[in-house]
Chains A and B, each alone.
Chain A
Amino acid sequence: MSAQVYFDDIAEGEQIPSLKKPVTTVNILMYLGVVWLLDRIHFDYPFATERRGLPDIVAPGNMAVDFFAQFLTDWAGDKGALRKLSTQYRSFMVPGKTLECIGKITRKYREEGTGFAELDLTLQNDEGTTCVLGKALVELPIK
């Protein structure tokens, strides 16, 4: 965990530290088992490619929400919190590629003694393909 970020120290237009998330078949398997998700496109390669016309098995879209949530809660620190998160799915997340969470502060404002930051988010793979776009609202402490 990095040092606590404060509202006072951030600026609109800044990028926050990115987070890399490797996605392998094992990561996908762990997720499916834990949340009890048995959709065949997530683990059965012949079914996914031959029957459903997908490029490979695909990670559940929810994992993008979780990657962004980790990215933003890491940044917000123990004194901050993730308040809003939206996602738009653009390309399938396939195993064997590392995804990178990228976030840019678009607006900062104070409300009732609390600091808030709005961010634009991108989840892209190591070929530069945008898999998911997002927006977030993060609460930050004021010094």
Chain B
Amino acid sequence: MEESLLEKMGWKKYIGMETVKTGEPVLARDIRRFALAIDDPNPIYYGEEAAKKGRYGKLAAPPGFICWATQEPWMEKRYEDLGEDGLLYFLGVPEIPNAWDLGWVRAGEEYEFFKPVFAGDRVSVNLKVVDMYEKQGRSGQLIFTTSIATYTNQDGDLLATQKITMIATPRKEG
């Protein structure tokens, strides 16, 4: 019997861990550039005037923007502080030790949207690690982690929930 990878990493104790982050106010420019980056030409993302004609009557971000709206200044590192992979922080299970000793891929996610992010909003996220388990894959042991991100605005309104499943495997160095 192979040693449990999850035991070896000592990560089981992080199941149930919650972290809370609050982003800086969202700018109209953040929304516009995000729309440009995903190449969504809908005029409602490019200015207040056009946004007035949309469902919400004011400048709202595209749905997928929400997971970027909660970034805090500490997440922006200098070049010399980036790891070899260029990784800044870990979305699935923040601040667990040696996360980058393994290779990670995103397996899937489930969003539920309740309200959009508007220009000027400060978005907070509560990220909870809900499960970690192992499976034997074709190429070795896999660790699955599931976390749930709950997004709220400055008024405490629920904006969205996001369940994220990530898979970690021992790295095969090339």
Q: Let me know if A35 and B37 touch, CB within 8 A.
A: yes
Q: Let me know if B174 and A52 touch, CB within 8 A.
A: yes
Whole-angstrom CA separation of A10 from B53 in the bound complex: 24
Whole-angstrom CA separation of A31 from B62 in the bound complex: 14
Whole-angstrom CA separation of A88 from B107 in the bound complex: 6
Query: Within B63-118, which residues are at the interface with A (CB < 8 Å)?
Result: 63-64, 67-68, 71, 75-76, 82, 84-88, 103, 105-113
Contacting A84 at CB < 8 Å: which of B34, B42, B113? Answer: B113
Q: With A50-B174, A73-B62 as given contacts, are A38 and B86 in contact (CB-CB < 8 Å)? A: yes
Q: Let me know if A65 and B40 touch, CB within 8 A.
A: no
Query: Within A64-83, which residues are at the interface with B (CB < 8 Å)?
Result: 65-67, 69-70, 73-74, 78-83
Interface size on A, residues (CB 8 A): 42
The answer, yes or no, to whether B172 is at the interface (CB within 8 Å) is: yes
Query: Within B43-61, which residues are at the interface with A (CB < 8 Å)?
Result: 44, 53-55
The answer, yes or no, to whether A51 is at the interface (CB within 8 Å) is: yes
The answer, yes or no, to whether A109 is at the interface (CB within 8 Å) is: no
The answer, yes or no, to whether B33 is at the interface (CB within 8 Å) is: yes
Kindly provide the distance from the CB of A43 to the nearest chain B CB, expressed in whole angstroms. 8
Q: Let me know if A66 and B40 touch, CB within 8 A.
A: yes
Kindly provide the distance from the CB of A123 to the nearest chain B CB, expressed in whole angstroms. 13
From A61, A63, A66, name the one whose CB has the most chain B CB atoms within 10 angstroms: A66
Q: Let me know if B55 and A84 touch, CB within 8 A.
A: no
Whole-angstrom CA separation of A35 from B75 in the bound complex: 11
Contacting A70 at CB < 8 Å: which of B40, B55, B87, B108? Answer: B40
Q: Let me know if B76 and A36 touch, CB within 8 A.
A: yes
Q: Let me know if B110 and A36 touch, CB within 8 A.
A: no
Q: Which residues of the other chain, A, contact B87 by a CB distance below 8 angstroms?
A: 38-39
Whose C-beta in chain A lies nearest to the C-beta of B88?
A: A38
Q: Let me know if A69 and B34 touch, CB within 8 A.
A: no
Contacting B38 at CB < 8 Å: which of A66, A74, A78, A80? Answer: A66
Q: With A36-B76, A39-B87, A78-B53 as given contacts, are A83 and B112 in contact (CB-CB < 8 Å)? A: yes
Q: Let me know if B110 and A84 touch, CB within 8 A.
A: yes
Kindly provide the distance from the CB of A44 to the nearest chain B CB, expressed in whole angstroms. 8
Kindly provide the distance from the CB of B83 to the nearest chain A CB, expressed in whole angstroms. 9
The answer, yes or no, to whether B39 is at the interface (CB within 8 Å) is: yes
Contacting A65 at CB < 8 Å: which of B34, B55, B109? Answer: B109
Q: With A38-B82, A79-B55, A83-B112 as given contacts, are A30 and B37 in contact (CB-CB < 8 Å)? A: yes
Q: With A35-B34, A53-B174 as given contacts, are A81 and B113 in contact (CB-CB < 8 Å)? A: yes
Q: Contact residues of B with A, CB < 8 Å?
A: 30, 33-34, 36-40, 42, 44, 53-55, 62-64, 67-68, 71, 75-76, 82, 84-88, 103, 105-113, 172-174
